[in-house]
Amino acid sequence: MKATFLLSVSMPIVILPVERILKYKRRPSEVHMNDAVLNPTLADAVDKGIDLEAKVHLADFFTGPWQFASLEKGAGFPNLAADGLPEAIAAQLDTPDAVEDAKNLSANRFCKILRNALAHGGILYLDEHGRSSSASPVRRFAFVSTNDPRNPTKLLFLRIGMADYRAFLQKWIDWLKTAAIDEMLARDVGLDATEAADAIVPEEAAKAVGV
């Protein structure tokens, strides 16, 4: 229940800035729900933060430790709903290289994996060892996406502990608040960044950016 609630809460927090702001900034012809016009400062901050090429560990919203692995399609993708996380992928995610590979994803790719997994139910509940287990409490998540929605050739996996995922969500909210709300107050109210940060509490900031 706790795992499902955490994911449910995180869906609008992660999806809306990507789907209704970033997509408009980059592919406006595909968008019919455009929040970017409601707060251009926030829209610019999201576009700048979710860089197409820059490594995600350089982004202000990043916190780890995330682990990344990929699986070639080959003759076909496995049925993760029935079979769970493949052991070969779980073992790959256990390696130190998996942490480095996650940190070195582009911010754009990282956010797309999260967005697609949350939007399409591509999330695996894992035990404390990072394995699929129906008999053990949920302690980790694996977010799963394809590399290309039109012609997928790989499955992409991001794994993280529940507590670390919650910390990431807080950092994501703090990033939105700092990047947009402080600047908006400085512009519209005449406060500098430090004064602006003191003038708004986290709960109010979350409401202001719709999270």
Global pTM reads 0.78
The contacts of residue 57 (CB under 8 Å, 6+ apart) are 64, 103, 104
Tallying the residues shown for the chain, one arrives at 211
Phi, psi torsion values for 84, nearest 5 degrees: 75, -170
pLDDT given at position 35: 54
DSSP H or E stretch at residue 186: helix 182-188
pLDDT given at position 86: 96
Do residues 203 and 181 make contact, with C-beta atoms less than 8 angstroms apart?
no
pLDDT given at position 195: 43
Pairwise pLDDT comparison (72 vs 199), residue with the higher score? 72
pLDDT, tens digit, 9 for 90 and up, residues 15-47:
877 776 666 555 555 555 555 555 666 777 777
Pairwise pLDDT comparison (190 vs 116), residue with the higher score? 116
Q: Cα(180)–Cα(41) distance, rounded to whole angstroms?
A: 6
pLDDT, tens digit, 9 for 90 and up, residues 191-208:
444 443 343 333 443 443
Do residues 132 and 124 make contact, with C-beta atoms less than 8 angstroms apart?
yes
- Residue 135 carries which DSSP code? T
pLDDT given at position 33: 58
Number of domains observed in the structure of the chain: 1
pLDDT given at position 129: 97
Whether the predicted pLDDT of 132 surpasses 90? yes
Q: Mapping DSSP to helix (H, G, I), strand (E, B) and coil, where does residue 19 land?
A: helix
The contacts of residue 196 (CB under 8 Å, 6+ apart) are 181, 182, 183, 185, 186, 189
Structural domain of 184: 2-208
Whether the predicted pLDDT of 100 surpasses 80? yes
- On average, the pLDDT of the chain sits at 81
Q: Cα(107)–Cα(139) distance, rounded to whole angstroms?
A: 25
